[in-house]
Structure 1
Amino acid sequence: MTTTTAATNLRTIALHWTDLHEAAGTPSQIGAFGLGLRGYLARLDQADAERAAMDAALDRLAERADSNPEALGERPVPVRLHILDTMRVVEATLVQCADDIAATAQRAPIPMPTARKADYRTLREANIAAADRRRKAELALADQHDPKRWRYTGRRTAPHAALWLLARVERTPGPCRRITEQEEQRIGTVAAGAADRVERALDIASQKRTLEQLHDCGGRIDIHGGEGRTPVGHCTGCGAIWTEGGVIAA
């Protein structure tokens, strides 16, 4: 996966996070729920099982396509719950990924200067030493509060994690070393899966699926949808086309 692809996916997540909140009817703040990697994988399995159940339901509905094709438009899972589930899973995995990358790539904050015994020979030496400690203390405080630093408390949201990971992928200067190829691959994999879930939840990705059930003419049934469009069924055999509202052409 290229750097450009990973960056695009991370931007997609950050830009559309508010859209997810609006679609789900929730406030703009949602916790990471502390799922961790194992919890994230478990949620992936659960989501895949739910998708398989939806596919099976569509296949059953397709059996009646010849007599009642508009039934293909039915959706067995409430969209709001699906969006909330997507937000929890995406946020948990992005925050976990940022935690793991920061643990190895982010350098420790500059330590505060320690107190020194007052054994200066002149007042000038004491003043110089005091000014040096103040300068070091200012640098340490600035480094500790650097907005480019990933933190394990406080703002741990999906868009913030996505933007921080984006900075690592694009090698933006900050309190971090350059990430390795393996770290970049991991970020890319996580970003791709998260962006795909966001796009599916918002229905902004074009989707196509061919049902196993054949039309009564023997042709394959393709379902086209996504990108905000009304789902459309199309028989590749006889050319029949239908939507939720009924047959368009036969």
Structure 2
Amino acid sequence: MTATTLRTIAQLWPALNDALAAPTQHSWPPVELRGYLDALEQYDIAEAAALRALERSPDQLGTRPVPINLRVHDTMRAVEAALLDTADRIAWSVQRTPMQPPPPARAAYARSRADRVYWEDRARRAEAARKDAADGRRWRHNTGRTAIRAAVWLAGRVEGARGPFRPLSEPEQHHVARVAEGALARIEATLDLADGCRELTSSHPCPCGGTIEVYGGAGAQPVARCKSCGAIWSEAGVVAA
């Protein structure tokens, strides 16, 4: 189950990259629930734009940054940080230290059978140490640090895949499971892949003055309903009043 969750995260990561540059939707009722959720964050987006304006005036030369969806960006940053931190901690605990190469060779020539055996054994040990250190199954703290690789690597540890590792302990299994479940839940909410229900802020009231509640997601058509008068909207417009 946990391994499937981690691989799902890796599979959904490209969709997050695509959504990162998606324009924010401002229509009401929203065409999709994600548009509504984005609309709730307009204050944050406007505030970020104001800060950028203070840092850089329009008359300055150079390339200006392309606007991004801040909600998607925050999700990607948080999930990646959680996965990398978990991979670092698990690797520190379960990953075997690389084999040590043989000590410096003694000054000797292969004049006898014993000398030849010594040099051949030393060469084998040196090659084995080199391969062990370069084993692609190892988690490295300085290269390949991406959310996708962390998710796939952790899935391998959960499944007990062979490599320079010991099996995960039960507490380690539980820890990875909690991180994976939380990360996938946040990704699904960001991509509107899970059921959701939110109340619109007071800045978007119903014509009657009541509070509007929007629910949908998981592929369902978003629907908005006034909690006071009972008016209902969908993508097509007013359904009932």
Normalising by structure 1, report the TM-score. 0.69
Q: Report matched runs for 1:135-154 at 5 Å.
A: 135-154=124-143
CA contact (8 A) 2:5 2:180 kept: yes
CA distance in 2, matches of 1:198, 1:180: 27
1:210 and 1:19 mapped to 2: Cα distance? 26
One of 218, 223, 230 as aligned partner of 1:232: 223
- The alpha-carbon distance between structure 1 residues 237 and 200, as it changes in their structure 2 partners (threshold 3 A), is same
Aligned to 1:35: none
Q: Which residue of 1 aligns with 2:64?
A: none
- What amino acid is the match of 1:186? H
Quote the sequence identity (%): 44
Q: Which residue of 2 aligns with 1:83?
A: 72
Aligned to 1:45: none
Gaps of at least 5 residues in structure 1 are 27-68
> Whole-Å Cα distance in 2 between the matches of residues 246 and 145 of structure 1?
60
CA distance in 1, matches of 2:150, 2:108: 48
Name the amino acid aligned to 2:138.
R
Q: 1:139-158 CA deviation, whole Å, 9 max, x = no partner?
A: 11111111110111011110
Is the alpha carbon distance of 1:231 and 1:123 closer, same or farther for their aligned partners in structure 2, counting shifts above 3 Å?
A: same
**Alpha-carbon deviation of 1:239?**
7.2
Q: Distance in 2 between matches of 1:209 and 1:159?
A: 30
In structure 2, C-alpha distance between the alignment counterparts of 1:121 and 1:12, rounded to whole Å: 56
Tell me whether 1:202 sits opposite 2:191 in the alignment.
Answer: yes
1:205 to partner: Cα distance:
1.7
Q: Secondary structure at the match of 2:122?
A: helix
Q: How many residues align?
A: 203
Q: Which residue of 2 aligns with 1:9?
A: 5
Equivalent position of 1:170 in the other structure: 159
- Report the Cα distance in structure 1 between the residues aligned to 2:217 and 2:19, rounded to whole angstroms: 15
Q: In the TM superposition, what are the counterparts of 1:1-250 in structure 2 within 5 Å?
A: 4=1, 6-25=2-21, 70=29, 74=36, 75-77=39-41, 80-118=69-107, 123-208=112-197, 223-234=214-225, 241-243=232-234, 245-250=236-241
Q: Secondary structure at the match of 1:232?
A: strand
- Paired residues of 2:224 and 2:232 also in contact (CA < 8 A): yes
TM-score using structure 2 length: 0.72
* Code of the aligned partner of 2:119: A
Q: State the 1:234 CA deviation.
A: 4.6
Conserved? CA contact 1:70–1:245, under 8 Å: no
Provide the C-alpha distance between the structure 2 equivalents of 1:15 and 1:166, rounded to a whole number of angstroms. 13
